[in-house]
Amino acid sequence: MDKDLLGNPTTGLERDVARLYGELKALSVREDAPPCVARNARKALACLWQAANDLDLSFEQLYDLGV
Partner 1 sequence: MNTPYWNPKNETMPREALDRLKLLKLKRHCEWAIEQSPFHRRKYEKANFHPNQLTSLDDLSRIPVMTRAEWMACQAEKPLFGDLVTATRDQAIRYHLTSGTSGRQPLRVLDGTKDWEWIAEMWCYGFWGFGVRPTDTVFFAFSYGSFIGFWGAHYCCEKIGSLVIPSGNMTTENRVRQIVEMDVTTVCATPTYALRMAQVARELDLDLPSSRVNKLIVSGEPAGSIPAVKRMLEQQWGAKCGDTAGMTEIGTIMIFECSHQPGGTHIIEDNFIEEVVDPETLEPRPYGEEGERIVTSFGRGFIPLIRYRTGDLVMKVPHSTCACGRTGDIYDGGIRGRCDDMKLIRGTNVYPRAVEAIVREYGEIDEFQIVIWRKDDVQDEITVKIEVKPDLDVDVYELLPRMGKDLAAAHEGLRFNVEAVDHQTLPRFELKAKRLVDERGRA
Residues that bind partner 1 (CB under 8 A): 5-6, 42-43, 45-47, 49-50, 53-56, 59-63, 66-67
Q: How far is the CB of 8 from partner 1 (least distance, A)?
A: 8
33, with CB counted inside 10 A (0-12, 13-18, 19+), is middle
Query: Alpha-carbon Rg of the chain, whole angstroms?
Result: 12
d(CA 61, CA 45): 12
Q: How far is the CB of 56 from partner 1 (least distance, A)?
A: 6
Q: How far is the CB of 32 from partner 1 (least distance, A)?
A: 21
